[in-house]
Amino acid sequence: MTIKEIQNEIVEEFSMFDDWDERFQYVIDLGKSLPLIDEKYKTEENLIRGCQSKVWLHAEKKDDKILFTADSDGYISKGVISILIRVFSNQSTVDILEGNTDFINEIQLQQFLSPNRANGLSMMVKQIKLYALALQAKN
């Protein structure tokens, strides 16, 4: 699936909920289903700076795609990173770098987050893009 197709799926899923309590619970549930990062990648180097909770993000290139794994010590942060990984993992570096995050506004995720968590969301997106740029440069 393309990044846009995945984003459209997420927008459709969030549109099923009538209020933010339901959306909030859905974000937490998404985080619970996140495949965990290997413990050896829970290092300072893989910590995303600027997040309220600790969020670890690891990227590796397989064939022409980047695979992301992550974990967090906070339920909300874990749910947010799981959404981003769903969108950007298993995509090419070019697609990741060109991909937008307009869907975040469509599902009103930033409105739901505290300013610190919204900053963390921005830092997560930035780190995903930086990994893609770094892995692209290695080729």
The closest of 120, 125, 122, 111 to 52, measured between CA atoms, is 120
Contacts of 130 (CB under 8 A, 6+ apart): none
Radius of gyration over every alpha carbon of the chain, rounded to an integer in angstroms? 14
The strand pairing partners of 57, in sequence order, are: 70
Helices (H) and strands (E) in the chain, counts: 7, 2
Instruction: Name the residue type at position 58.
Output: H
Residues serving a catalytic function are: 51
